[in-house]
Structure 1
Amino acid sequence: MSFMRKHGNKESTINVRRVYCAQFLCSLESQGLISIGELQPIHIYDAFISTFSKEGFSKKIPLFLNYLYNQHILDKNYSTLVPKYATPQILPTVYNNEEIECLLNAVNQSTLIGKRDYAILMIASRLGLRASDICNLSFENIHYDTETIEIIQIKTGAMQVLPLLPQIKIALDSYLLERKALNGSQYIFLRNFAPFLPLSRSAIWSITNKYFNLSRVYTTSRKHGPHSLRSSFASSLITENVPYSVV
């Protein structure tokens, strides 16, 4: 872990790799190994077979084995012996413009909760922001002078500058005007009851799911969380002949 930190890996990346390495070492111990120096290819294969997340194992454990070899903890580099595994890629769920409009129209905008939820769904469907980035939106991200929303993406750490579209600005202003009583937090989207904490990713999912159900949009065998709005937005851009590199 110290090695990864030294080489600039993010804490989230380190934590994921730590879990896989710990599971791998526990498997080796259960196979009767007393020392990592006793490692043989059959032990790696048995650990792979017993793991629940084979795709993660096939991606994370080679990094660990390569590290052990480069640090002279193992005299052989077993990283290439880890079986390759990839789960089939399922096509993302896409909703058309009419279905997205039905979703938005299902929100009762006469209440504070409705105004908040409508602003969230507008941002998710019109800009394609991830749920984690919506949760993390703060007042310093909204630039009325340049009419932009500027964030550092949680997942990638990359800067993203998006247009503060007129309909999103109206939705935000409507919510924030009524949310004055909850001022004091730097975050925009808060729980409506004390303690007034920022919404979680699961809360964003629940909000999206709630209005899909109210809208009566057909969701059977289709995903109906915030990420489906992100993929729908990307699909709509492609339909409008926006280059793939831009999307």
Structure 2
Amino acid sequence: MDLQNLKEHHEELLSFMENNGYCSTYIHRFRDEINRILADADSHRWQSYQDIYLEYLKVPHSKDYLRNKRTIIGALEQFDLFGHFPDGRHRHTLFERGSYHLLVPEFQELIDFYRAYEVQRGKKESTIRGESLNTASFLYRMQEQGARSLDEVTEDAVLSFFVSDDGTLQKSCSYKKNISAVFKAGLKWKEPQCRRILGFLPLLRETRKNIRYLTQDEVRLLRDAAENDGFSARNKAILLLLLFTGLRGCDIAGLTFSSIDWEKERILVEQQKTSVPVEIPLSAVVGNAIYDYLAEERPDTGSLRLFLSETHPFSPLAAGSIGNIVAKACRLAGIRQEPGDRKGTHIFRHNLASTMLENGVPQPVITQTLGHTAPDSLEPYLRADFVHLKECALSIEAFPLAEEVFSL
């Protein structure tokens, strides 16, 4: 591993951090790590910055300590190999998120086989990643309990991952399904070991939480908040898109100029979740809000993305920022401010679906509007269709009841 560039230029990195307000303790940690790497390079056969970090795993350390080392070593990698200085925006790429890099070789081999197998079968990358992350966490727990191979995983260890000692469910049915998907693929790799662990996975009932739907009063207050002077034109356009289109937050963040067909008054989107294209009417209220943002507020950066950050360098808006905009709207509207109140972007998607149901819009039309790939995806929204649910209510006239039941 060639560390000559780091040796010659690391003072530039430290000076940059000093000039940009990094605390002295943090800078000192960087200096110590650089000195350690340069001093120990000759006595180790490091091939990459990953190898440098993995050296720390040979001795027990706390998660916080290891997280700190990953951040520092990852930042050094970005500086040494790519010339990137820390900016608070770009996360290091030393490892993917999750526990994979902490696993013993056999556990990593299982996940590697699963990923290659499902890529060949055409499974969506986001699904593969989610199932891999969940399984890596599961295997890391098995490893913490002493298992260094699949043969050493015990049924008690598996059950303790899902259910606590007092019987409380710790992991959901969908989490178990993700783990199961990896081990089912693993049957073509190490059939007996993977089948054995599949047999240990508990039977969990699939449940759905009740969705706290938006009330008409909340919708009115949110629309009023969109007109607040403290709410930017960009945020107003995004809030109205959520209210009137049912688009997911990630799809709104991914909109480009070509996504808006002004002549035909349509919004064209290929959904990130399903890769299914959808075409949504562009209403006047949404179109006017987008136009106001483009004409009055959006900086001209050359980016094709529709929505940009509001501060320099005006980068394309991240999907996570859509949730922050919703949180701000709720604050201005004075709604959903108690701990645990649901105020994510999905409540708007649910609101659109339930409103369309109440107004008698055919279910296939709603499914097409929301871009669902399966008809039963609409089922959770049916529970909030109170207009039609009331039509299913049975009369109690045939049941004898005492008069005091109805008295105040």
TM-score band, normalised by shorter chain: 0.7 to 0.9
Cα 1:57–1:74, aligned 2, differ >3 Å: closer, same or farther? farther
Cα 1:182–1:52, aligned 2, differ >3 Å: closer, same or farther? farther
- Structure 2 match to 1:146: 264
- Structure 2 match to 1:23: 137
- Structure 1 match to 2:282: 164
Paired residue secondary structure (2:299): helix
Answer whether contact 1:107 1:118 (CA < 8 A) is retained. Answer: yes
RMSD of aligned residue pairs (Cα, Å): 2.7
For structure 1, list consecutive stretches of 5 or more residues without a partner in the other structure.
none
Does 1:175 find its partner at 2:289? no
Answer whether contact 1:126 1:233 (CA < 8 A) is retained. Answer: yes
Does 1:67 find its partner at 2:185? yes
- Structure 2 match to 1:102: 221
- Structure 1 match to 2:203: 84
After TM superposition, give the deviation of residue 66 of structure 1 in Å: 2.1
1:209 maps to which of 319, 324, 327? 327
Q: How many residues align?
A: 246
2:233 maps to which of 115, 120, 123? 115
- Structure 2 match to 1:236: 355
- Structure 1 match to 2:242: 124
- Structure 1 match to 2:375: none
Paired residue secondary structure (2:235): helix
Answer whether contact 2:225 2:332 (CA < 8 A) is retained. Answer: yes
Residues 96-126 of structure 1: CA distance to partner in whole angstroms, max 9, x if unpaired? 3443132112224768x62111111111001
Cα 1:213–1:23, aligned 2, differ >3 Å: closer, same or farther? closer
Cα 1:101–1:30, aligned 2, differ >3 Å: closer, same or farther? closer
Q: Find the structure with the greater CA-based Rg.
A: 2
Paired residue secondary structure (2:297): helix
Moved more, 23-32 or 138-147: 23-32
Moved more, 232-241 or 16-25: 16-25
For structure 2, list consecutive stretches of 5 or more residues without a partner in the other structure.
1-114, 367-408
Q: Separation in 1 of the partners of 2:308 and 2:346?
A: 20
- Structure 1 match to 2:372: none
After TM superposition, give the deviation of residue 86 of structure 1 in Å: 4.5
Residues 168-211 of structure 1: CA distance to partner in whole angstroms, max 9, x if unpaired? 11111111111353341111111121010122233222222222
Q: Separation in 2 of the partners of 1:75 and 1:99?
A: 53
After TM superposition, give the deviation of residue 7 of structure 1 in Å: 1.3
Answer whether contact 2:150 2:193 (CA < 8 A) is retained. Answer: no
Moved more, 163-172 or 55-64: 55-64
Residues 117-161 of structure 1: CA distance to partner in whole angstroms, max 9, x if unpaired? 111111100111111111111101111122110111111211111
Moved more, 12-21 or 28-37: 28-37
Paired residue secondary structure (1:170): helix
User: Alignment identity in percent?
Assistant: 26
1:189 maps to which of 307, 323, 333? 307
Answer whether contact 1:109 1:118 (CA < 8 A) is retained. Answer: no
Letter in 2 for 1:134: I
Higher relative contact order (CA 8 A, sep 6+): 1
Query: TM-score, structure 2 length as denominator?
Result: 0.54
- Structure 2 match to 1:10: 124
Answer whether contact 1:94 1:231 (CA < 8 A) is retained. Answer: yes
Residues 30-72 of structure 1: CA distance to partner in whole angstroms, max 9, x if unpaired? 3433432455544533444479534344212222222232334
Letter in 2 for 1:137: L
Q: Separation in 2 of the partners of 1:224 and 1:199?
A: 19
Cα 1:72–1:218, aligned 2, differ >3 Å: closer, same or farther? closer
Q: Separation in 1 of the partners of 2:201 and 2:264?
A: 51
